[in-house]
Amino acid sequence: MNELASARTASSTKERGHTLDRLKEFWRRFRKNKAAVFGLIVLLLLIFASIFADQIADPALITKISMDRKQPPSAAHWFGTDHLGRDLFVRVVHAAPTSLTIGIVVAAFSLLIGGTIGVTCAYYGGIYDEITMRIVDILSAIPGTLLSMVVVSVVGGGMRNLIIAMVIARFRGVVRLARSAAIGVTGREYIEAAKSGGSGEFRTILRHIVPNIMGTLIVSATMSVSSAIISAAALSFLGLGVQPPTPEWGYMLNEARSYMATCPHLMIFPGIALVTTSLSINLVGDGLRDALDPKLKT
Amino acid sequence: MSENFIAIKDLYVEYRTDLEVVKAVNGISFTVGKGETLGIVGETGAGKTTTALAILRLLPENTGRVTGGSIELEGRNMMELSPKEIREVRGQKISMIFQDPMTALNPVFTVGEQIGEAILFHHPETPKTEVEARVEEVLNLVGIDPKRKNDYPHQFSGGMKQRVVIAIALACEPDMIIADEPTTALDVTIQAQILAMMKDLRERINTSMIMITHDLGIVAQMCDKVAVMYAGQIIEFGSVEDIFSRERDHHPYTVGLFNSIPNLREKAARLKPIPGLMPDPTNLPAGCKFSPRCPHCMEICRSDDPAAIGEGEHKIKCHLFDGGGISRGE
Amino acid sequence: MENKNVPLLETRGLTKYFKTSRGMLHAVDQIDLRIEEGKTLGVVGESGCGKSTLGRSILQLIQPTDGEILYRGENVAGCGKRKMRELRKEMQIIFQDPYSSIDPRMTVSDIIAEYMIINKIYKTRREIYQRVNELMDTVGIAQRIANAYPHELDGGRRQRVGIARALSLNPKFIVCDEPVSALDVSIQAQILNLLMDLQDDLGLTYMFVTHNLSVVKHISDDIMVMYLGRCVERASSDELFENPLHPYTKALLSAIPEADLSMRSRKVEIIKGEVSSPINPKPGCRFAARCPHACEACQAPQELKEVSPGHFVACRMI
């Protein structure tokens, strides 16, 4: 153990508060990553815009068609109008909560389901682990997008089904991640120590394994929000996702395809919104990972 | 003895991050002559590994820095060498053996390739047949069947891996080997094999050695000179006879180290360990660094860092010996 | 009901095999041992000898393959859950690695309190944390680090936390699995002294597993030497060091580098080679492959024979 590491451990005579100190340290490290902070600001703005979408842009205008079709951006219509005369700005803003909701819900459910399966596989091992992992392997042979498409074509479109289809496609990756993270922990002596004190299996998993892999899982979940948003957009683009009249960026991109040459703004604005959202989440995720990695000295 | 192969003078090394400055090495000086073995003894955090890394300029780039003193290799100032020159020194003039053989070897190359790589790096013109011959020679030297040169590291046990590491270190016939706790991770019977082999090699090739260890037993068996390090300083230095002699004076920390080891011959009811811990290197005490734990601490110890005093080679950094003997000040 | 003649812990034919893809791994093979109450049995051997597996098998953290474990004369091997819960309060373990034996996400006081909470020892939180404070005092850690996390502590303090945790259920028997190997020399000495003081004050019985012979001599009353899952020699601590009989024991003792210059040029009995594989071992002495005195007779299984009172050796030649 080198001097730097032993210095950290040697300053044991100072008493520390608990989670507060940890959070402060985490924030200090996160803050140093300029890109991550930028991403966080943008993300917060997007979330703000999603929550107050109705205040920012009149929801009645989402579906209001007019005779002012395919207008470029102007004072009356900040992003211009689409091929049906609807205000693009309103539609883009109202699509934000759709995408963010899908992204977050899909990531959360994948984490819950995939995490539970992965952790129990790691802890119990044996036949259960073998069989489960083989099933996951078989499922993994089918490309995610394809799988989602198949599910949607069977159960129909709409946001709810889209979310279900995407979770089915994504939980496989989480199982693997959670399992490998948990395997790293199950071998540790403090797990044996818990057993020696009489801790039951459920308690050991919940109190000892899960808290110690949360870091890895949270980072991965954050990244998967952004990829879920893009996937949802892709599926909506293909007509297999969110159905009108709910505005959705991917769907808007699809609508704009025919008018690409004449009205590029119809593609540009939803496109930028999509990319910005995804990028900001990725930057935050990167920053999270670096800030949580104890080995990276800054 | 012989002219000095390496001379360290007043070396200071720090690790610096935003939060704190770790004063890892605080003014050490020593020399190692040709064919000599110096033992650096101390506990975790004493600065032994940092010293070794500083010599070979292997300190972590972002944070580690030599902030004072000089390191001279055969009279040349090592701090002034260009990166190219220092790369030539590493492996060729000075080789290092690290503590953990499990991670020191690259798992995707055969051991023959790894030894060969060391040779080719320093002598790129060497024809393949000569490289192969040297690889086999050096494997023999460390007691591994030369036919195993095409095996991968995972096919060797811990002790054998450490022999491979030593073989790589020896490939270019270095003038000095720095061994950082080379046997700590090994079983005691394997350790005995490795130490015997190192002793044998040392005699045959006449390499100098710096042996970093916390085990006084190894020091007694292997070393000619000893430096006892504490909180980044050498608090006692001398020949191995000086350090192990019961008649001579010793630094209270050295005494404490000896008292901490259960003796195989005598049975004591309790050991007499040194109370407390090594000081926090980001917040070293003023005066003598050992003063907070020293049973003989005096007023002056808290304010003045003692100078290294002693007769001949045997030097002790302690106010107890500043003007003659333990009897003073008690 | 305590019968003073019955040893606190005894094993008969304790065996643990692991199934691997290459065959049966004989980790622990037919170990018989007895430890009297208040005494310490040292178990020494090098890597792969099975000493850690032995400790864990006795505590049934790993299920033994065969054999009896007698706690106060009663066989508890393979007992039911209810009995196991009772036993956990009597038999505990102190682990080797202070860096991985305590949960990095829990504070010191939570770690020490955990066993008591699981086993519902006290009714109120106040009582539990009072006991935590007592334990912290007992093992010599300052009250003010009660809310500290493991990564803020050095190895020695972490190990004390582990010891406090092991003591929290008031066990009578503790397996110490290399508790000082990962610590610096001066901290080792502090912890060893602590363990010995605790033994005197609380009447504890220890099984002290280690590879360090000087440490084991200091702390043990009796010592058992293991090699590849078998016991090769067993004797009182003094007797083993004065009069080692098994070739492996002799080699082990001779291999220790002594902090004594007069031993500098003494010839060390180096045993050649490496430990052979514990998978599907051949019958007969497992040390024969490396033994300088091996002969035909060593191919047959070796029995532990008592060659002098209390001194057992498994070797044809003795």
Residue of A nearest to B278 (CA): A10
Q: Residue C69's beta-bridge partner residues?
A: C11
User: At A157, which amino acid appears?
Assistant: G
Q: Which of A205, A220, A212 is nearest to A175 (CA)?
A: A220
Preferred mutation among A2, A14, A26, A297 to probe B, highest tally of B CBs within 10 A: A2
> Which domains, and CATH codes, for chain C?
9-90+171-313 (3.40.50.300)
Query: Taking the CA of residue A163 as centre, how many other CA atoms within 13 Å lie in the half-sphere pointing to its CB?
Result: 16
Q: How high is the pLDDT of residue A41?
A: 94
Structure tokens at C90: 């009597």
Q: How confident is the model at residue A245 (pLDDT cuts 50, 70, 90)?
A: confident
Cβ-based neighbours of A178, under 8 Å, separated by 6 or more: A114, A115, A117, A118, A119, A122, A213, A217
Cβ distance A3 to B278 less than 8 Å, yes or no, reads no
Per-residue pLDDT for A82 more than 90?
Answer: no
Distance CA B292, CA B277 (A): 9
Distance CA C300, CA C296 (A): 8
Cα radius of gyration (chain B): 21
User: Does A14 touch chain B if contact means CB atoms closer than 8 Å?
Assistant: no
* Domain residue spans of chain A: 23-292
User: At C202, which amino acid appears?
Assistant: L
Q: How does pLDDT run across C144-164, given as a tens digit for each residue?
A: 899 888 888 888 999 999 999
Cβ distance B280 to A10 less than 8 Å, yes or no, reads yes
Structure tokens at B279: 């000081």
Find the CB nearest A195 among C61, C145, C155: C61
Preferred mutation among C56, C114, C128 to probe A, highest tally of A CBs within 10 A: C114
What is the side-by-side strand order in the sheet with C91-94?
Answer: C91-94, C173-177, C205-210, C40-44, C222-227, C230-236, C311-313, C305-308
Which chain C residues have a beta carbon less than 8 Å from that of A6?
154
Supply the mean pLDDT for chain C.
90
What is the DSSP code (8-state) at residue A87?
B
Q: How high is the pLDDT of residue C40?
A: 96
β-strands B176-180, B208-213 pairing? parallel
Please give, rounded to a whole number of angstroms, the shortest distance from the CA of C115 to a CA of chain A. Answer: 5
Q: How does pLDDT run across B143-181, given as a tens digit for each residue?
A: 888 999 999 998 888 888 888 999 998 888 889 999 999
Find the CB nearest A9 among C118, C154, C162: C154
Distance CA B209, CA B182 (A): 12
Touching partners of B (3+ C-beta pairs < 8 Å): A, C
What percentage of chain C carries pLDDT values higher than 90? 56
In angstroms, the first-to-last Cα distance of chain B is 39
**CB distance C253 to B217 below 8 Å:** no
Q: How does pLDDT run across A32-47, given as a tens digit for each residue?
A: 888 999 999 999 999 9
Structure tokens at B46: 């004493």
Q: How does pLDDT run across B222-260, given as a tens digit for each residue?
A: 999 999 999 999 999 999 999 998 888 899 999 999 988
Distance CA B199, CA B179 (A): 13
Q: Which of C280, C258, A79, C300 is nearest to B217 (CA)?
A: C258
**CB distance A226 to A283 below 8 Å:** no
The contact set of C with A (CB < 8 A) is 56, 59, 61, 85, 88, 92-93, 95-97, 100-105, 107, 114-115, 118-119, 142, 144-145, 147-149, 151-155, 157, 162, 165, 169
Distance CA C141, CA C160 (A): 7
Q: How does pLDDT run across A167-188, given as a tens digit for each residue?
A: 988 899 999 999 999 999 998 9
What percentage of chain A carries pLDDT values higher than 70? 91
Preferred mutation among A1, A4, A12, A22 to probe C, highest tally of C CBs within 10 A: A12
Per-residue pLDDT for B74 more than 50?
Answer: yes
Please give, rounded to a whole number of angstroms, the shortest distance from the CA of B196 to a CA of chain C. Answer: 8
Q: How high is the pLDDT of residue C221?
A: 94
Which chain A residues have a beta carbon less than 8 Å from that of C82?
none
Supply the mean pLDDT for chain B.
88
Query: Taking the CA of residue A258 as centre, how many other CA atoms within 13 Å lie in the half-sphere pointing to its CB?
Result: 6
**The listed CATH number (3.20.20.10, 3.60.15.10, 1.10.3720.10, 3.40.630.10) that belongs to domain A23-292:** 1.10.3720.10
Per-residue pLDDT for C317 more than 50?
Answer: yes
β-strands B176-180, B94-97 pairing? parallel
Distance CA C159, CA C180 (A): 8
Per-residue pLDDT for C289 more than 70?
Answer: yes
**CB distance C137 to C164 below 8 Å:** no
Distance CA A164, CA A95 (A): 19
CA A249 vs CA A88, A100, C53, C161: distances in Å? 11, 11, 60, 56
What is the DSSP code (8-state) at residue A72?
P
Distance CA C160, CA C144 (A): 15
Cβ distance C105 to A196 less than 8 Å, yes or no, reads no
Residue B76: CB atoms within 10 Å: 12
In 3-state terms, chain B is what percent helix, strand and coil (to 5)? Answer: 35, 25, 40
User: At A41, which amino acid appears?
Assistant: I
Per-residue pLDDT for B189 more than 50?
Answer: yes
Q: How high is the pLDDT of residue A18?
A: 52
Structure tokens at B300: 């002056």
Cβ distance C186 to B256 less than 8 Å, yes or no, reads yes
Cβ distance B273 to C187 less than 8 Å, yes or no, reads yes
Q: How high is the pLDDT of residue C4?
A: 61
Distance CA C5, CA C36 (A): 9
Q: Which of A274, A253, A249, A244 is nearest to A157 (CA)?
A: A244
Per-residue pLDDT for B266 more than 80?
Answer: no
Distance CA C318, CA C306 (A): 10
Q: How does pLDDT run across C48-107, given as a tens digit for each residue?
A: 889 999 999 999 999 999 999 999 999 999 888 889 989 999 999 999 998 899 998 888
Omega into C292 within 30° of 0, i.e. cis?
A: no
Q: How confident is the model at residue A153 (pLDDT cuts 50, 70, 90)?
A: confident
Q: How high is the pLDDT of residue B5?
A: 87
Lowest mean pLDDT among A55-69, A168-182, C21-35: A55-69
Tell me the three state secondary structure of residue C236.
Answer: strand
Structure tokens at C277: 């594989």
Find the CB nearest A12 among C85, C93, C145: C145
Q: How high is the pLDDT of residue A296?
A: 52
Per-residue pLDDT for C258 more than 90?
Answer: no
Structure tokens at B204: 């045959």
Q: How high is the pLDDT of residue B329?
A: 38
**CB distance C166 to C155 below 8 Å:** no
Distance CA A281, CA C19 (A): 47
Distance CA A28, CA A89 (A): 37
Cβ distance B63 to A298 less than 8 Å, yes or no, reads no
Which chain A residues have a beta carbon less than 8 Å from that of B229?
none
Lowest mean pLDDT among A70-84, A217-231, C13-27, C31-45: A70-84
The residue with tokens 């300083």 is: B233
User: Does A6 touch chain B if contact means CB atoms closer than 8 Å?
Assistant: yes
Per-residue pLDDT for B14 more than 60?
Answer: yes
What is the DSSP code (8-state) at residue A141?
T
Q: How deeply is B165 buried, as exposed, middle or buried, from its count of CB atoms within 10 A (0-12, 13-18, 19+)?
A: buried
Q: How high is the pLDDT of residue B244?
A: 92
Distance CA C167, CA C138 (A): 10
Tell me the three state secondary structure of residue B317.
Answer: strand
Q: How does pLDDT run across B273-300, given as a tens digit for each residue?
A: 888 888 888 889 988 999 999 998 888 8
Touching partners of A (3+ C-beta pairs < 8 Å): B, C
Q: How many CB pairs under 8 A join A and B?
A: 45
Find the CB nearest B189 among C214, C218, C255: C255
User: Does B162 touch chain A if contact means CB atoms closer than 8 Å?
Assistant: no
Q: How high is the pLDDT of residue A298?
A: 42
Distance CA B174, CA B34 (A): 11
Supply the mean pLDDT for chain A.
83
Cβ-based neighbours of C34, under 8 Å, separated by 6 or more: C7, C9, C10, C11
Distance CA B239, CA B38 (A): 9
Cβ distance B281 to A10 less than 8 Å, yes or no, reads yes
* ipTM for the complex shown: 0.86
The mean pLDDT of B81-91, rounded to a whole number, is 87
